[in-house]
Structure 1
Amino acid sequence: MLRVPHAARAMAGALLGRLSYGTVPLSLLLAVREASGSYAVAGTAMALFGLAGVALSPARAAVIDRRGPARPLTALALCYALLLGLLTAAAVGGGVPDAALVALAAAAGAGTPPLGPVMRALWSRLAPDPELLQRAYSLDSVAEELLYVLGPLLVGLLVAFASPAAGLALSAVLVLVGTLALTSSHAVRSTSGGSPAGGSAADDGAAGGSAAGGSAAEGGSAGAASAKATPVAAAPSGAAPGRRSAAARLLGGPRRWRSAPVVLLTGALGVGLGALDLLVVAFAEEAGAPGAVAWVLAALSAGSAVGGLVYGAVRWRLPLRTRLALAAVGLGLVLAPAGLAPGPFALALVAALAGVSVAPALTTAYLLADATAPPERRTRAGAWVNTAFNAGAAAGTAAAGLVLGSLPVAACFALAALPLLLAGLGSLAPRRAVRTAGATAPAPARQEPREAREPQQAREVRAAQKAPEQARTARTAS
């Protein structure tokens, strides 16, 4: 993948900036805790930081879709780095009110640059071949997984020799340098006039059949050669854009790209994994081995990395929607009995097996969002997948915290798997019903009649050619 022209520099810059997202959470938690002396304040700052980042992610991506990635990303990175710098100064100087620390954390979360969605949109332009795009997204998911393992380790090493606020300063430097490296790359500079996606999107590939133009992104083999489908219009046929609010047009949510099931499945994935993080802690404490938590979560990440690499190397023939649903069901089936593991070592093996489905599921979700979103909304589509996963993870962690006190740990594992199983099986059921009924895939909803697509001159020539034949037919009928 790195031999694709202009890909290596763009990916290196994006990964360097995204490493900041692995170092910020622990740095922010430790720095605010040290400055305020309160875990409650630190937890509130972390919650608002994450909430602001998740809630405004689609809006930030929408601006990039409209204006291109270079200037918005640079502005967001400068703002984000500045706010982290102010947080660093406040934590080191001391004497800052707790409310100011929380406000700075929330503002920093609101300005987080969407480097992940932008890089995935760039991949769809740099690697338009479906097989290469699958490998690119798999590589991206595996690299991101490793960054979230490496980030806390870097913070841990840094805190051993300096104040926790130094982690915030490191995060500011990482995001600023990485973003500038990305925006100065040829891959971004060539898209300065518009969306980083470029090219066209497969039309409604998730609707149950292959996309218009025979795209293999959804209906066929990921490795099959196919022409890209004709770009679809920004608004559905017959829609009146003026009737939509400015916010709705800006965000371009799942209804705008007809992939709400992708968001549902990705949210369920986040619920399961968010609950798993807390359930592993409870399991390890109950087993009398709290130090095993790190090993169990590391096994989960290792399994995810292996699964992502294998997934990217295989030429799949199943449709993307089916792959995503099967990955969710597979993860749910492994997670449901995990609480019955005889000890932390066995739980680590189960976590590694569960991780095999994680990176493939996220890769498929991004591929499906890319295949169903029009070109001008690809960054937003990827941002909605991010938002669904992060919101689901937060909800899963909160729900696990509520039920852990009243139910056995093993039962909590089974409950955490329930959303994955319901969402996955629910997504598979309608497709089975369609096949059983013998229905064929519908034509693309926005396919225009041939007469509407032809130039006026061509229609007149064709009508003139048919006139003699129509006259002979009329004489014969009379």
Structure 2
Amino acid sequence: MTPSYRAVLRTPHAGRTFAAALLGRLSYGMVPLALLLAVRDATGSYPAAGTVLALFGLASVLLAPARAALVDRHGPRRVLPPLAAGYAGLLVLTACVTWRPGTPPPVIGALAVAAGAGTPPLGPVMRTLWRRLLPDRELLRRAYSLDTVAEELLFVSGPLLVGLLLAAARPAGLGGPAGPAAALVAGAVLVLAGALALAAAPPVRALAGPAAGPGPGAGAEAGNEAGGEVPGTQSADGGRPERRSVEGELRRAVLASTATGLALGALDLTVAAFAEQRGQAGAVAWVLAALSAGSAVGGLGYGALRWSAPHAARLRVLATGLGTALVAAGLAPDVPVLAAAVAVAGLFVSPLITTAYLLADEGAAPGARTRAGAWVNTAFNAGSAGGTASVGLLVGSVPPALCLALGAAPALLSGLAGLLHAGLRRPGAAEAVGLR
């Protein structure tokens, strides 16, 4: 089989399974905006809407590893349907209480927290299933790249779909808070349909137990690509069995994902401040669209090419590239140049996230792969929130160039430090720089 995107989707059951996961994950692109608008219209308060959305996001992000652990322990067929039913039911209940103005914000906030706590881990489950579907590591990398790009596009198209639903709701007499509430119901329907279809997909039905076990031959290939020991194999000198450090691989992936989230969270507010300073506030959407376009191109290109370097080495190079591009973007003299520089930075985003997922997957124990992917996802979202909050305190009093540089610093420094450390560990490197 030719290792291409077509080969990925033509793998038996892959297309159907992936479509089911994407259907449910489209809800995750819709719900935040729909919830924000519904709470704003129901309470008449932007601070209340922002607080409810923040509570929803925190519950969803911080409990993601725990929900993924349930999948690892009991399998997606047992976990996804009840989680999706509870999540969808709470979204519908939230839509009901925001359909008319007057509901106290604490009531809406409690429902939002409960909904966020039960968000089904459709992304981590799909990435675990990719490994079972595709034991070939080249196809697996392409599948992860395709998955990352598709997920990013869903988060771009989700708000657009909410806008279309609101536009369609007005002629039907669903103005005011009823329109966003209807969008919440649509999000509930999507996630429930996607989760149930994913749980019923043949790769999931074929599982006798938890979903996190490796596909045929996957463990050996992942270990060989990483340049490390395969768990349970003898070391070369015949000594005790060696097992690659799960914590080390996962730590690298989580740190890289956190740094990427910090950089992108800082970028959003900085771009807004940059454009407003030049009287072009409407150009913010175009700059962020350039980021998404660059990320999609970079992700698809990354998956299409063959790479000989191990994932950890690629992660260092990609983090350095992202940080450097964002620092350079801060020096842009106008919005068009900023958009071009941000598009270049986007080329590193999807490949970096894809590599972080691959690194976490190859280092995870067979019974913890869904959880490992969830940790990478949680780290990215937490980093994004932290980057936005940090720059929010600085923007207006600090030049945008410095805001971008500060946001990009963790990615740039971690990449450079990793490259330097790797260089010093090469045979003869210590002597070359005068070390013993």
Same fold by TM-score greater than 0.5: yes
Give the equivalent residue in structure 1 for 2:81. 74
In 2, the alpha carbon distance for the partners of 1:257 and 1:85 equals 42
Matched, 1:305 2:296: yes
Structure 1 residue 353 displacement after superposition? 0.7
CA contact (8 A) 1:328 1:420 kept: yes
Structure 1 residue 406 displacement after superposition? 2.0
Matched, 1:147 2:169: no
Runs of 4+ in 1 over 6 A off after TM superposition: 200-203
CA contact (8 A) 1:191 1:198 kept: no
Change (3 A) 1:214 1:60: closer
Deviations 1:53-99 (Å, cap 9, x if unpaired)? Answer: 11100000001001111111111100100010001001103322110
In 2, the alpha carbon distance for the partners of 1:214 and 1:407 equals 45
Give the equivalent residue in structure 1 for 2:24. 17
Larger radius of gyration between Structure 1 and Structure 2 = 1
Give the equivalent residue in structure 1 for 2:114. 107
Deviations 1:343-365 (Å, cap 9, x if unpaired)? Answer: 22211111111110000001100
Give the equivalent residue in structure 1 for 2:425. 434
Give the equivalent residue in structure 1 for 2:340. 349
Give the equivalent residue in structure 1 for 2:99. 92
Residue from 208, 211, 222 that aligns with 1:195: 211
In 2, the alpha carbon distance for the partners of 1:121 and 1:184 equals 16
Give the equivalent residue in structure 2 for 1:169. 185
Structure 1 residue 394 displacement after superposition? 0.4
Q: Note the residue ranges of structure 2 that are not aligned, 5 or more in a row.
A: 1-7, 170-178, 234-239, 431-436
Q: Percent identity?
A: 59
Matched, 1:380 2:396: no
Change (3 A) 1:417 1:98: same
Residue from 30, 38, 46 that aligns with 1:31: 38
Q: Secondary structure at the match of 1:340?
A: coil
Give the equivalent residue in structure 2 for 1:455. none
TM-score (norm 2): 0.89
CA contact (8 A) 1:259 1:372 kept: yes
CA contact (8 A) 1:201 1:372 kept: no
In 2, the alpha carbon distance for the partners of 1:122 and 1:293 equals 37
Structure 1 residue 258 displacement after superposition? 4.8
In 2, the alpha carbon distance for the partners of 1:299 and 1:216 equals 37
Give the equivalent residue in structure 2 for 1:447. none
Structure 1 residue 428 displacement after superposition? 2.2
In 2, the alpha carbon distance for the partners of 1:418 and 1:256 equals 24
In 1, the alpha carbon distance for the partners of 2:227 and 2:349 equals 22
Deviations 1:332-379 (Å, cap 9, x if unpaired)? Answer: 101002122122221111111111000000110011011100110000
Aligned residue identity for 1:219: G
Structure 1 residue 217 displacement after superposition? 3.1
Structure 1 residue 392 displacement after superposition? 0.4
RMSD: 2.2
Structure 1 residue 148 displacement after superposition? 0.8
CA contact (8 A) 2:135 2:218 kept: no
Structure 1 residue 427 displacement after superposition? 2.2
CA contact (8 A) 1:135 1:312 kept: yes
Give the equivalent residue in structure 1 for 2:266. 275
Q: Note the residue ranges of structure 1 that are not aligned, 5 or more in a row.
A: 204-211, 221-227, 239-253, 440-478
TM-score (norm 1): 0.81
Change (3 A) 1:213 1:283: closer
In 1, the alpha carbon distance for the partners of 2:182 and 2:15 equals 29
Change (3 A) 1:200 1:380: farther
Q: Structure 1 stretch 331-340 or stretch 363-372: which is displaced more? A: 331-340
CA contact (8 A) 1:19 1:151 kept: yes
Q: Report matched runs for 1:30-429 at 5 Å.
A: 30-162=37-169, 163-199=179-215, 215-219=223-227, 229=230, 256=247, 258-429=249-420
Structure 1 residue 108 displacement after superposition? 0.9
In 2, the alpha carbon distance for the partners of 1:98 and 1:110 equals 18
Change (3 A) 1:129 1:229: farther
In 2, the alpha carbon distance for the partners of 1:378 and 1:429 equals 30
CA contact (8 A) 1:257 1:374 kept: no
Aligned residue identity for 1:64: V
CA contact (8 A) 1:201 1:371 kept: no
Report the number of matched residues: 405
CA contact (8 A) 2:223 2:362 kept: no
Change (3 A) 1:124 1:255: closer
